[in-house]
């Protein structure tokens, strides 16, 4: 499970980086830049949630011992 979560975090990081290249800072909320902005926020949320899941799995395994 830890490897799967790490792979998902890496994929989400890659999507954030890819969408960061699509940003147009003059028109941040118009056209393709708006989609890129929303995708970056979604990717960051996914990274945050997966990190929380990884930490909770670690805590759960330590409390069982």
pLDDT at 28 over 90: no
What contacts 28, CB < 8 A, 6 or more positions away? 34, 37
pLDDT at 14 over 90: yes
Q: What is the mean pLDDT of residues 10-35?
A: 93
Q: What is the mean pLDDT of residues 25-36?
A: 89
CA distances from 3 to 16, 50, 54 (A): 20, 12, 10
Residue reference for tokens 């989400």: 12
Q: What is the pLDDT of residues 35-64, one digit of tens each?
A: 999 999 999 999 999 999 999 999 999 998
Q: What is the mean pLDDT of residues 5-14?
A: 97
Output the CA torsion sign for 29, 35, 41, 42.
positive
């Amino acid at each position: 499970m830890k490897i799967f979560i790490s792979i998902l975090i890496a994929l989400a990081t890659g999507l954030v980086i890819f969408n960061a290249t699509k940003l147009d800072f003059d028109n941040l909320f118009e056209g393709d830049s708006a989609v890129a902005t929303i995708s970056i926020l979604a990717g960051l949320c996914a990274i945050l949630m997966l990190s929380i899941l990884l930490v909770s799995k670690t805590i759960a395994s330590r409390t069982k011992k």
